[in-house]
Structure 1
Amino acid sequence: MINPFKLYIDSFKGLSPESWMLAVVMLINRSGSMVLPFMGIYMTDHLGFGLKETGIVLSCYGFGAVFGSWFGGMITDKIGEFKVQYLSLFLSVPLFCLIPFFKTELSLAIIIFIQSSISDCFRPANSVAVTKYAKKGNLTRAFSLNRLAMNLGFSIGPALGGVLSTISYDFLFYSNAVGALLAAITYVWFFRNRKYRNEEEVLETKENADISPYRDGKFILFSFACFLFSVSFFQLLNTLTLFYKQEANLSQQGVGYILAYSGFIIVLMEMMLVQIADKKFRLQTTLFLGTLLCGISFFMLGFGTAVWFLVLSMTILCIGEIWTLPFMSTATALRSGVNNKGAYMGLLGIGFSLSFIITPFLGTLIAQNYGFTILWIGTGILMAITAVMFYFITPWMLGDKINQSA
């Protein structure tokens, strides 16, 4: 009989000290991430912006994230992930401190664009670091550990931000700066003289040894599938909460409970479910199942609003997320070569960043014009199509590498 507790503990075993420390840095950095969840409230309540102006400024954050993913990936391949990560963290400190001094729509849009561009350079560089410090056979679990730390940080940050914002909104920005500074100091202290574990073990092929990901047709198609998944999935952050509030008639506290429950499921089950998928499924099968489960979760919302039904849907969504997001990074790492890994991770990140711009507008537009039922059924169908794309594109893209230990 399987012992779930032992399986959970075993899922953390064998990870390298560097993988653990990258997760600690991510946890510190994301625990200080208090600005974004409260930026809309800050602009409307504190600065007196209208909804249209607030939306424009928030869109600048998304455009900055797209630029940062591209530039961060490119520069990582030129100067190395270590320099990109510590520069991104250290430069974020003064930028967070400067934000409270910008009060007009134009000036705030500019500083938010610059700040998100610098901050998001961190992501592709961090992903490259995960691939280079992970022990052989532990790559996907190393990505999952990092994602686990990010989810924990995003749970801690907004909770602290809610308390600090009642005192002064300025504390949100200064706390973000402190979080970035502590993460930077911790990162430099531990990784300054570290040697990579497995850079020499990455398999090179003539097909992708030096090619730019922007000229890699197979990977572009895979990235497009990741983008479709992101546009659908990240309704979790905006359209889904509106549905809970307007259609399911949940209180703000009730919405918070369901979102907190999703975080709890991720923390409790991610490493264990990733280990099961690593041992039992092929990579394309895991991506197929994870994406399909996410589609089923959204599809269900078109047919019920009872609390137990919403909790069941969220549970399925969390399992699907666990079996999709970290394995996207694994597939990207396996496709890339030694000298272009940052650019590949950057292109993957661009798809996610674009979804942050498109999803809020597209989701609310469909819900307003056609209703939430059509939105959720359509999302489920799109997820199912994306799942099939993953199933066929992944082995075609990776070839023999799909059997490489991750």
Structure 2
Amino acid sequence: MNSLKAYWKNYISAYHGLSNATWLLALVMFINQSGSMVLPFLGVYMTTVLDFSLENAGIVLSTFGVGSILGSLIGGWLTDKFGSFKIQAFSLFLSIPFYLIVPFFKTFETLCIAIFFLSFIKELFRPANSASVSYYAKPENLTRAFSLNRMALNLGYSIGPAIGGFLAAVSYSFLFYTNALMSFAAGILFIIYFKNRKGHAPEKIIADKSEQIAKTKSAYADSKFLLFSLFIAIYAFCFFQILNTLPLFYKKVALMNEKEIGLLMAFNGIVVFVLEMALVHFAEKKFTLSTNMIIGSLFCGASFLILMPSHMIAILYLSIFLISISEILVMPFASTVAVNRSLPANRGSYMGLNGISFSAAFVTSPLIGTYIAENFGFTNLWIFNCIMILVATVGFYIVMKKM
């Protein structure tokens, strides 16, 4: 009982000190991601409604990842050049017409193009939003501010697919139209609150921004951060199996139906929503950045390791719980590393490269993961993931020691 009280006390204290602007950024993220119901159903839409082959559906999904990579790359550069406010507003509102017209593209070639540009425009938002979090959060609350933002993202991802399931039962077009509506709502709220609002960056830095950019190097010239980003990409490759090969494993090997799979996937969002703020608040006080990244990475490996001997329902839920804890410990602290490594004048490029590391997994994870599962079996895929996690863990230890 005392431990439960201590947990909730720690959970509540995790929110103390966060600025109103930090909360509003999280609310904008939540509204925007609540509308992100297209991606979980995109594969089903293509194979059932458009009658695409699995191979062509996989290629279209990969174009989403390619668009995300370029969006993160260019979004970081645009954020440094024009500021995070303009880029976030641009992304939110320009994505609206793309959501509205995607249902009219029904051939493989045209849908590849439409999904690429939709993903590209949508992903411009991420590095700009991350730069805003670091701008409006107090330095001592930075990791918790990123955690709150991610918690909002995860809550949105939990609610979005749940709503999307009901909409898809009526018409898949409603998914795209609802996404457009949510982007519009998030954009209006963002502009009303953040227009002309000042953050915690020193006035001199703002005034001398162009001069600083000339003097500070880009993230892409920072060899140690590039290496760190490579290990993040390796970790993300394994983590994002949760979006592609794990549901296939549940269906084909564990013989779960769609309802059971949906509940299992929703469990991830619930765990992250309930535990992230308190766990990050505890971890940032008790451990170093490096320790948190290493422990979190190992939890991801453990989530695949326990799937090898058994796929009982309790094991499946334990696996999702472990990968959720991994997500909590790795992702917000990875953003903190990017912020700590950067300066205000080049933060966009660092946050953009951080986003690219994760976006790259959207391309490689479904392609390589499904190939290994189909040709060598799921057990060998889990072994491969465990090996990759060990590479990432050792990499985090070495490169963060040097950083």
Tell me what 1:278 maps to: 284
Partner of residue 144, structure 1: 147
Question: Aligned equivalents of 1:215 and 1:391: distance in 2?
Answer: 21
Equivalent positions of 1:202-217 (< 5 A) are 210-217=216-223
2:396 to 380, 386, 390: 390
Instruction: After TM superposition, give the deviation of residue 19 of structure 1 in Å.
Output: 0.7
Matched to 1:156, the amino acid is I
Please tell me the residue identity of whatever aligns with 1:306.
Answer: M
Q: CA deviation at 1:199?
A: 4.9
After superposition, the Cα gap between the structure-2 partners of 1:312 and 1:48, relative to the gap in structure 1 and judged at 3 Å, is closer
- SS of 1:303's equivalent in the other structure is coil
Q: SS at the partner of 1:103?
A: coil
Residue 195 (structure 2) pairs with residue 192 (structure 1): yes
Q: Alignment partner for residue 263 of structure 2, among 257, 266, 273? A: 257
Aligned amino acid, residue 283 of structure 1: L
Q: Deviations over 1:43-94 (max 9, x none)?
A: 2222222222222222221111111111101110000000000000010111
Structure 2 distance, partners of 1:302, 1:200, is: 55
CA distance in 1 between counterparts of 2:398 and 2:124 reads 31
Question: Residue in 2 aligned with 1:132?
Answer: 135
Equivalent positions of 1:224-243 (< 5 A) are: 224-243=230-249
Counterpart of 1:351 in structure 2: which amino acid?
S
- Structure 2 residue 74 is the aligned partner of structure 1 residue 68: no
Partner of 2:164: 161
Question: How does 1:6-405 map onto structure 2 within 5 Å?
Answer: 6-199=9-202, 210-397=216-403
Task: Give the unaligned 5+ runs of structure 1.
Answer: 398-406
- Going from structure 1 to structure 2, the CA distance change for 1:27 and 1:355 (only over 3 Å counts) comes to same
> Retained in 2: the 8 A contact 1:131–1:333?
yes
Contact 1:270 1:322 in 2 (8 A): yes
SS at the partner of 1:340?
helix
Which amino acid letter does the alignment assign opposite residue 140 of structure 1?
T
Partner amino acid for 1:37? Answer: P
Conserved? CA contact 1:209–1:338, under 8 Å: no
Partner Cα separation in structure 2 for residue 138 and residue 200 of structure 1: 20
Contact map agreement 1:209 1:337 (CA 8 A) in 2: no
CA contact (8 A) 1:331 1:394 kept: no
Specify the code of the residue in structure 1 equivalent to 2:396. Answer: F
Counterpart of 1:43 in 2: which secondary structure?
Answer: helix
Distance 1:163 1:248 in 2: 25
User: TM-score when scaled to structure 1?
Assistant: 0.93
C-alpha distance after superposition, 1:332-368 (max 9, x if no partner)? 0110111111111111111211111111111111122
What percent of counterpart residues are identical?
A: 48
- Using the TM superposition, give the Cα deviation of residue 120 of structure 1 relative to its aligned residue in structure 2, in angstroms: 0.4
2: CA distance, partners of 1:201 / 1:308: 56
Q: Give the letter aligned to residue 64 of structure 2.
A: Y
Q: Which amino acid aligns with 1:118?
A: I
Q: The residue matched to 1:390 in structure 2 has which SS?
A: helix
Tell whether the 8 Å contact from 2:303 to 2:320 is kept in structure 1 after alignment. yes
Aligned-partner Cα distance in 2 for 1:201–1:304? 59
Spell out, residue by residue over 1:290-324, the C-alpha distance to the aligned partner (whole angstroms, 9 max, x if none): 11111111111112111112222222221121111
- How far does the alpha carbon of each residue in 1:105-153 deviate from its partner, in whole angstroms, 9 at most, with x for none? 2222111111111110000000000111111211111011011001111
In 2 relative to 1, CA 262–101 (structure 1 residues): closer, same or farther, beyond 3 Å? same
Partner residue, 1:400: none
Greater displacement, 31-40 / 183-192: 31-40
Task: Specify every segment of 5 or more residues in structure 2 that has no aligned partner in the other structure, as ranges.
Answer: none
SS across alignment from 1:49 = coil
Query: 1:25, 1:167 → 2: CA distance?
Result: 27
CA-to-aligned-CA distance 1:233-273 (integer Å, 9 cap, x gap)? 11011111111222222222222222111211111100000
Report deviation, 1:198. 3.7
- Counterparts of 1:241 and 1:350, CA distance in 2: 24
- Take 1:199 and 1:170, find their aligned partners in 2: how far apart are those partners? 46
Contact 2:296 2:327 in 1 (8 A): yes
Give 2:259's aligned amino acid. Q
Please tell me the residue identity of whatever aligns with 1:113: F
Structure 1, 32-41 or 175-184: larger mean CA deviation = 32-41
Deviation at 1:215, TM superposition (A): 1.5
Mean Cα displacement is larger for which, 373-382 or 151-160? 373-382
Distance 2:300 2:339 in 1: 23
Residue type of the alignment partner of 1:93: I
Change (3 A) 1:258 1:182: same
Asked if structure 1 preserves the Cα contact closer than 8 Å seen for 2:157 and 2:269, the reply is no
RMSD between aligned alpha carbons? 1.9
